[in-house]
Amino acid sequence: MTQPTMRPDLAAKCLELMYVQAANAYASSIVAGGVLVTLFAGHADPRLLAGFVIAYGAMIAVRHAMGRRFAALPPESRDGGRWLARARIAITICGVLWGAFAVGLAAVADPYRLAAVVITIGALVSGAVAAYAVTPSVFLGFTVPAMLPLAGWLLLQPQPEAKLLGGLVAAWLLFMTSAALRFRRFALAALNLQFIHAETLVQLAAERDRAEALAGQLEVLSSTDPLTGLANRRALDEALDAAWATSAATRLPMALVLCDIDHFKVYNDTYGHPQGDVALRKVADVLAAQAARMGATAARFGGEEFALLMPQADAKSAWQASETLREAIAAMRLPHVGSANGILTGSFGVATLVPDRASTVTTLVERADQALYRAKRSGRNRTVEMATE
């Protein structure tokens, strides 16, 4: 991505735009760094957190001083080559600091904190499209050292989930680089035409909106279970909180259905984990289809457990949905010699609740879990309900 020769007035405008956007870029990165430092306080090495705060704070101070000096100079007295080189060096150092910090945090992160690290780095790279894309060498100077080390570290981990996430991070870097190229083409065309007609600058805003919209895709990926494609536990928790607030406001009941695949450990031991993954995906497809029909949320609760969240649903609706799911799983007729039925089946626990001051989301989850436990203890392949007024 070498910068082609361009007319001097356009090159000067690109340099000015980069310095103006840099103020927003490092302001947002300060917020992002503060969030991660707070999130990892007590979990990561204090020296790592303090080192990043000191080093990155120093670089922000340097960049702020550079920006003030640049803005104070009359446009005709600015040496474009020198000021571009200064910005490239400072921004590349910031990228290196972010990359090292992300790997250091990832090494001690649990899945939720790891998702926060990935989302933060992805968001910073997405923001760099608007801030630095007009100067490709500066854009790559930040994005490559900021994101590539995290992708490489994840790809080197033994867990398949980590490798998948590492691949997504690397793909996101390539995608954002492509977006930066597109953004740059639009930006240069708009800036060039600005000298003829100011209305062409609208293209910059449109492309920026596109880049910001793309940044949300990484967060969607972090909320999805990679094996089944259903919502993961983090996304389910968020959906539960939203449904709870709505139900509390409307005074209408909400329902939670928990499903456990019967004797799944025996199934894995008998048929192997690859076939077990196939079975989990087939069960997930059944839940996803039911959720789509009802406007519900289907999620992988953990291991061989699944959940169906039904906002504004009463006990009868939840019971019927559970029975439909149970029958659909049995109807697949997946052989299971370790089950008394000879086929793969599921046990279901149903709980309904109208939120009040004496209950919380945890109350609903615990009731559904208790109902599921009773279903398993009473013979499996059945639905047990625990409803409250």
The CA distances from residue 210 to 186, 188, 200, 307, 339, in Å, are: 12, 17, 17, 34, 52
The CA distances from residue 334 to 278, 284, 327, 331, in Å, are: 10, 14, 13, 8
User: Which tokens go with 349?
Assistant: 């626990």
How far apart are the C-alpha atoms of 88 and 92, rounded to whole Å? 6
User: Which tokens go with 339?
Assistant: 């089950």
Total count of residues recorded for the chain: 389
- Beta partners for residue 384, in sequence order: 349
A 10 A CB-CB count for 48 gives 17
Catalytic residue among 161, 207, 212, 304: 304
Under DSSP, the state recorded for 335 is B
3-state per-residue secondary structure call for 362-381: HHHHHHHHHHHHHHHHCCCC
User: Which tokens go with 237?
Assistant: 């928790």
* 304 catalytic residue (yes or no): yes
Q: Write out the catalytic residue numbers.
A: 304
